[in-house]
Chains A and B, each alone.
Chain A
């Protein structure tokens, strides 16, 4: 547009300027002429143009009026020119308005039916629509209402139907949108940025009553557009929704209908037109509302779940608009509209949510202020009720998106009702309905077998307490995580607004009533409590003040009653391990009669009478079937949910949960020691949550600071072990997670443990072994032994001797010295060197001297405990059960490790252990031999001297024979052999033998025996790991006596010829020389190269 500076201001000049073009156009209606005129028009100033409006429009209209077919291009150009004029001027004359309207419509409608568009070009249609738009915007306030006089009905009708047809059927989105916009303008409800006439209520009323005639047409067609092609783009849909809501809002406006009742009847002189006229009588209103509700349902269903947020936003606008204006007249639709509005309150998009919140707040305010408050609440609660009724069905049948929407609506109602929720829940029917719906919807899928099979091993518990991951729950009715979170929010909102006592009572009832509902009820309860504490509730803002908030005391009472239920006998001690899959059969047998019976601190307060309970026999020994798996799975989930619940309660109560740890922590720890992976993980994460909620920095602090509570229950339960077999497990978990500050308290309990063990060796040994094992493991962790240091020092010493070997001169000197020594020369000098060589021993002696020879200093706590434990091990080593023996051997090994620093304590104990240990080594199940051998090696590491003779006399012969016997078998065996026990035994013996020999500094004869027994394993026919283990034996042996084993190896195979450096020396002759490659060569050569490599080179060099 040219700037105002150059525009023509003077009407006269303008007239003169435009005249030629106008005249020319009238004479020759061509595109060029139109364009010339429109070009000139742009140079005219707006006010001037206003004065010349009629004049300028004339030629243009003339072009349109010329009979006969016209070119599209021409009409388009005319329309564009007219648009320019109309956009910048006003239309004062009714005639102009009316005529222009019909003329423009004629341009694009088919000659036969004024309500249908021609198939002219899209550009033309668009231009005409734009012109229409401009025309209607330009119409002056006093004339525009004439459009809505009854007499205009036919013309207006034609225009409306034309626009509707364009909006619905055109392919171009632009045209669709433009047509819909024209419709908006036509009903005086344009929402563009230009200035608009604001109708008075009376005027609005007349517009409304005229438009009532077109209401059916508009609403039907527009709802077709809305629900039409999803690909049409959101702009068209949004426009259409605007048109729909504005039209309905205009025609059905409550205020108008109230005012119109008194309005005069239509003028009688209308003739046929009177038939078109609609009288908005109450009857009409009612039937119309009915029809509209059908359309509305269709619109809501296809827009609430629309992908584009603007469409959903528009839906909110629509609902808000109609609820604000027509809530009375549209009676039937109010429920629908509310539902739509409520459904959007949890929209993903914050803009929609915000708008929706505003709308809902207005709705509720409007209704609270007006007398219809009651009805509004009624509508809401009725909706809620019916939704709750249909919820299970909807959750089964509809798709995920629909489910999500339905749940959002449900949640929305709750939020909208706000504090009234508690009133509604007082109605038994409502509560029943809602709770049943939740129970059905939240049903878990318990088919997964893996959950039952996954086992926790102690390693994971120890190493990764922080990374306990939560297994996702699988539900029968849905899979999307978001649905679950909405459901949980529903529960929280119930808890937030509802009466906590009522709710906990009701759901605890459900929990008790049927095992089918138990898990769901627990989930609901957990969230209700969280909600009641105001955690993760998105409903703040409204009703915060009004809600009868549960006090901390109420909450605590509720939590206590729920927790008592959760941790009660029947709900806490559930079988999660099936008898068949259990590796730990003996434990099971031991525990099975009383597996379900337990106490925990929570029962402490109840009296003696119920500490024993009879278990239904069917429960105790389930028949092995697929349903068993389901039941186990279900039990596992129930426990997990209850554990999560305890964490929720801790969150809800915060620091106030600390006193409740008295009863709950023991229960949680009990489950943390559970075999089933899922349960122990859930317990672990529950512990972490409790930690956080109660303000403990870590698990260790949680356990340490509450160890008195835990130990109390453990100690009590240890005394009634047959009823409470979980007590040792709790102690195990405690020990795993805490540090040595626990020791003084633990000492107390260990006495209990040992006493309980002493009282009943035969029944409970297996159970206690695991406790002792955990205890010793903890002690070994808290007080790491220092013997790794000693082993290092010996190896460095070894390295120096290696180097000395090279110096043949030194060797000869040494040899001579030794010889002299043997003859008794120079002993005195030697004593000095010996003193230097053995500093560690003197150090130890010093220690003892400091303590005084007579006063026996008190042992550190951990050592005295270890001694006590080791004492029991001696007895248990000969237990008839193999499992126990194995466990005891493990414990023994740890005991030896912990005691290794105190030789004075260890040796007497080792002495006492020896006979039993020897039995395990020589006359027991291979598995036991295996472990016993490991104990022997550990023992050898620390008290070598002590063991030397015993081993060489009592152990080695036996081991060598068995190794020698097995060698041919393993050499011939196939790959499956590595799975056998015999193989494992061989492997273990070979792996340990070397270090044992070295540690014990065995005599030559013993070493020879060992090497003889091991040699066959150097064969490449042996399984590879046996070969490796055997190589390790030889490496150790070589360190003890390099020369002897160099010789031994070279006797077996020798690749290099040793030529003496001087002809006077005799040539070296070895049995292995010149032998062809055989099964032993590879390993022998490898050993020689690794251990004697440089040495061999040195010897070789002179000869080569």
Chain B
């Protein structure tokens, strides 16, 4: 007999807007936190112990917050809004001060990406003012590093991922564009290393497993397409995963590389085994598009959570496949 469908462990309400982005911060010894950015411009910091919003940050003058992130090395918190700004916050010792803000000029929905090169320095990649432009800046010094502009017309930058491969000491950047192409950039040489057409529709999201050099991207189509990098940094398309309903807002791979979660426009979160891309579960709770998913970074595997944020203004927290044995 099949197991009954799981229910969320808890749902967080009161965000007051669609939840575009989620980010956990549970690795330290302190209170486990979940950051959420809403379409109404508020950033909620949820205390996962009391399951209540501990603080609410307002820094994007009521325009939609599209990306939130924290740095591993410090208490710096990064948020990106559609007011064309990336804000850096100091959250240490209970503060919530806006330290710095970077003007991006991008009117799109492309979420930024951050790479901690040599703490306290880190690189921030974000979509620039021009349609296809990606800018990279070193922080906290705010030194511009480079601007990446493809030669061909690929449409808007939809999603980017900045990472540091083990093989080369140079950071690489994966970018998905409006026409469905996926490009691999060498950041220091400002050159395209590889390019594939992963989708026929705009790429909505991508995620990349830096250990296995394998990634997956979603679009407004009914499929997820996975790809990998070979030894020569060439992108190669792998299998497609067909979905029941079209549209994926976000993809997320769990730290241990075992699970992949997708935020579907069909109000469902789908969970896959990452190794073989096997569908495992459909999490159904939300009553509107799911916009974001995130896995928690708890050190104790058993406490790990999956969070999903939806347009129905709720965040659902799920405790799934975390008995340590992977998918059973």
Contact = CB atoms under 8 A, between A and B. Distances in A.
Given A708-B13, A715-B11, A608 B3 contact: yes
A23 interface: no
A788 interface: no
Given A659-B50, A708-B51, A716-B11, A608 B6 contact: yes
B175 interface: no
A751 interface: yes
B49 interface: yes
B4 A608 contact: yes
Nearest to B5: A608
A609 B52 CA distance: 27
A608 B282 CA distance: 13
Interface string B50-62: 1110000000000
Contacts of A612: 4
A607 B7 contact: no
B287 interface: yes
Contact of A662 (B3, B51, B287, B319): B51
A719 interface: yes
Contacts of A712: 10-11, 13, 51
B323 interface: yes
A751 B286 CA distance: 12
A752 B288 CA distance: 12
Given A659-B50, A709-B51, A611 B7 contact: yes
Interface in B147-174: none
Contact of B14 (A605, A609, A708, A755): A708
B122 interface: no
Interface in A221-260: none
Contacts of B9: 604-605
A607 B51 contact: no
Contacts of B49: 659
Nearest to A606: B319
B19 interface: no
B10 A604 contact: yes
Contacts of B319: 605, 607
Given A662-B51, A711-B13, A745-B13, A720 B287 contact: no
B58 to A, nearest CB: 19
B302 to A, nearest CB: 10
B4 A755 contact: no
A99 interface: no
Contacts of A10: none
A755 B284 CA distance: 14
Interface in B59-91: none
A748 interface: yes
Contacts of A604: 7, 9-10
A715 B12 CA distance: 11
Nearest to A612: B4
A607 B50 CA distance: 20
Contacts of A745: 13-14
A751 B287 contact: yes
A708 B52 contact: yes
Interface in A691-716: 708-709, 711-712, 715-716
A609 B287 CA distance: 24
Given A608-B320, A662-B51, A719 B7 contact: yes
Interface string A25-49: 0000000000000000000000000
Contacts of A708: 13-14, 51-52
Contacts of A711: 13
B13 A611 contact: no
Given A712-B13, A715-B11, A611 B51 contact: no
Interface in A951-1005: none
Interface string B23-64: 000000000000000000000000001111000000000000
B8 interface: yes
Most A CB contacts (10 A, CB to CB) among B6, B13, B52, B287 go to B13
Most A CB contacts (10 A, CB to CB) among B49, B319, B323 go to B319
A546 B9 CA distance: 43
B18 to A, nearest CB: 14
Interface string A91-120: 000000000000000000000000000000
A973 to B, nearest CB: 56
A114 B78 CA distance: 111
Interface in A730-760: 745, 748, 751-752, 755
Contacts of A609: 3
A611 B4 contact: yes
Contacts of A752: 287
Nearest to A712: B11
Interface in A574-607: 599, 604-605, 607
A716 B287 contact: no
Contacts of B14: 708, 745
Interface string B89-122: 0000000000000000000000000000000000
Contact of A719 (B3, B285, B323): B285
Interface in B269-325: 285, 287, 319-320, 323
Nearest to A752: B287
B4 to A, nearest CB: 5
Nearest to A661: B50
Contacts of A599: 7
A547 B140 CA distance: 55
Nearest to B1: A612
A825 B142 CA distance: 90
Interface in A837-893: none
A711 B287 CA distance: 16
A748 B13 contact: yes
Contact of B7 (A709, A716, A755): A716
Contacts of B8: 716
Interface string A655-680: 00001001000000000000000000
Nearest to A611: B4
A755 B3 CA distance: 24
Nearest to B9: A604
B137 to A, nearest CB: 39
Interface string A395-412: 000000000000000000
A659 B13 CA distance: 17
A28 to B, nearest CB: 106
Contacts of B50: 659, 662
B325 to A, nearest CB: 12
Contacts of A709: 51
Nearest to B319: A607
Contacts of A662: 50-51
B285 A755 contact: no
Interface in A597-627: 599, 604-605, 607-609, 611-612
Contacts of B3: 608-609
A752 B3 CA distance: 24
Nearest to A599: B7
A918 B49 CA distance: 54
A711 B4 CA distance: 22
B208 to A, nearest CB: 29
B13 to A, nearest CB: 6
A248 B206 CA distance: 96
A755 B51 CA distance: 25
A608 B6 CA distance: 5
Contacts of A607: 6, 319-320, 323
16 contacts: A599-B7, A604-B10, A605-B9, A607-B319, A608-B3, A662-B50, A662-B51, A708-B13, A711-B13, A712-B10, A712-B11, A712-B51, A715-B11, A716-B285, A719-B7, A719-B285
Interface of A: 599, 604-605, 607-609, 611-612, 659, 662, 708-709, 711-712, 715-716, 719-720, 745, 748, 751-752, 755
Top 4 A-B pairs, shortest CB-CB distance:
A608-B6, A604-B9, A712-B11, A716-B7
Given A709-B51, A716-B7, A716-B8, 15 more contacts: A604-B7, A604-B9, A605-B319, A607-B319, A608-B3, A608-B7, A612-B4, A711-B13, A712-B11, A712-B51, A719-B285, A720-B4, A720-B7, A745-B13, A752-B287
